[in-house]
Amino acid sequence: MNELNQTMKLNPHLFEVGVEQAPIRKGYGEGLVAAGDANEQVVALCADLTESTQTLAFAKKYPTRFVEMGIGEQNMAAVASGMAAMGKIPFITSYAMFSPGRNWEQIRTTICYNDQNVKIAGSHAGVSVGPDGGTHQAIEDIAITRVIPRMTVLVPCDSIEARKATIAAAGHKGPVYIRLAREKSPIVTTDDTPFAIGKANLLFQPKDPDVVIISCGVLVYQSLHAARTLMEQGIRASVLNVHTIKPLDVEAVIAVARAAGRVITVEEHQAAGGLGSAVAELLSEQYPVPIKRIGVPDQFGQSGEPNELLTYFGLDSEGITRTVVNFVHT
């Protein structure tokens, strides 16, 4: 489609039925190995979930630079902080419900308060975890990490962007949280798609947009599909991929808000506290426009198949389309 931003060099098969899919966490595993290849100070720690979190490839290639911490996420964060103080670049990994969930205080105090160069990868985030249910669906993790001073928060949209985010995190000085999803999801980007921490990417840009959809993570793909459907209904929606929640790309968010005059945020997270809140905080102070946040509406997740849950919470392309139509016509 002509509305796709050609400078972003997106997947040419993006809107095809058989679009390639891969788990976002897979890109993390690939990026971790690449970061380890580039810098021998990179080390990895995992809390008894080495295979599930895709840390296994690093552990096999660099066994002397890998530590299996067992089911001890709080200890893992504290140990990583000590390793960082000695010049290492530790990546700690578990399910997001446990890290940064269970070990939030250790991340806050031992890592961020001391400004230690530790990277936290939270896998299996969002309701798309599926049958594991509400106890294992981290939908508060963006909120609890972005409020911590000195923390950078990354939410890649596919496995390729996750690989780039992991490599970038290794080269970024200071604490970083990388949010990862479990299930396979469509590949939106390519190796040539630009990625830089703190720089949002405008992926879909119709002329004279009526609304902008600001999205992150696996819902970027759903947002792009919604934008295409909306075009067919006479509503021009641009799509901004905000892979860095903190620091937010202030210039890009204000630019798309100014161009469209209406803003919809979309995330696989509580509607409160995450991307939508970050955008609303910025715009309310610097460029007030009508805004609608799409996310989980102040409730816990449920057990179900990933796509079934996205539909249930109105987070799939059809749900996003309905919300945008109602918002624009209000």
20 is catalytic: no
Question: Among 73, 140, 183, 267, which one carries the catalytic annotation?
Answer: 73
Tokens representing residue 204 in the block: 């879909």
Find the length of the chain: 330
Distance (Å, whole) CA 178 – CA 191: 19
> If DSSP states are collapsed to H, E and C, what string results for 210-260?
CEEEEECCCHHHHHHHHHHHHHHCCCCEEEEECCEEECCCHHHHHHHHHHH
Distance (Å, whole) CA 218 – CA 156: 8
Tokens representing residue 5 in the block: 């931003």
Coil, strand, or helix at residue 163?
helix
Helix (H) or strand (E) holding 93: strand 89-95
Phi-psi region of 208 (alpha: psi -120 to 50; beta: other; left: phi over 0): left
Residues annotated as catalytic (active site), given as ranges:
73
